[in-house]
Amino acid sequence: MVSKEYLAGFFDGEGSVMIESYQLRLVVSITNTSYEALQLFQSQYGSKINTHTVTERNAKPLFYWRLRQRRALEFLEDIEPYVRLKARHIELARAFIKATPDSKLVIKTQLRTLNQRGKIKESQLPLN
């Protein structure tokens, strides 16, 4: 069994929290070139590991692991005490699960803003 601290650190670097547009479902996803690394998550939280089609020549295979809705929230709550960079994402995920349909759209927009590359604010960075 892998420690929650390790899983949280890996998730901080390689994971994402998002909302599927077409069904308004919470999704946690981790993408990596190491199938073995994703097996650590699969062994503790289930679900399957999928292969992402890579079109670039000489690129390594890319794999992803996903959880949805309640299972996603359970995973996030398990690692929450150890997460540094994605604490706000987890807070929004929790709110999303409890939200009314109108509120879910607002939370989806907030998560989309947080997930934009290169848009991390200084206030989101750890102090040490």
Tens digits of residue pLDDT in 45-65? 999 999 988 778 888 889 999
Whether 7 has a pLDDT exceeding 60, the answer reads: yes
* pLDDT for position 122: 46
Mean pLDDT, the chain, whole residue set: 89
- Which residue segments constitute the domains of the chain, with CATH numbers given? 4-124 (3.10.28.10)
**Secondary structure in 3-state letters for the chain:** CCCHHHHHHHHHHHEEEEEECCCCEEEEEEEECCHHHHHHHHHHHCCCEEEECCCCCCCCCEEEEEEEHHHHHHHHHHHHHHCCCCHHHHHHHHHHHHCCHHHHHHHHHHHHHHCCCCCCCHHHCCCC
Residues 6+ apart with CB under 8 A from 90: 17, 76, 77, 80, 83
Whether 69 has a pLDDT exceeding 70, the answer reads: yes
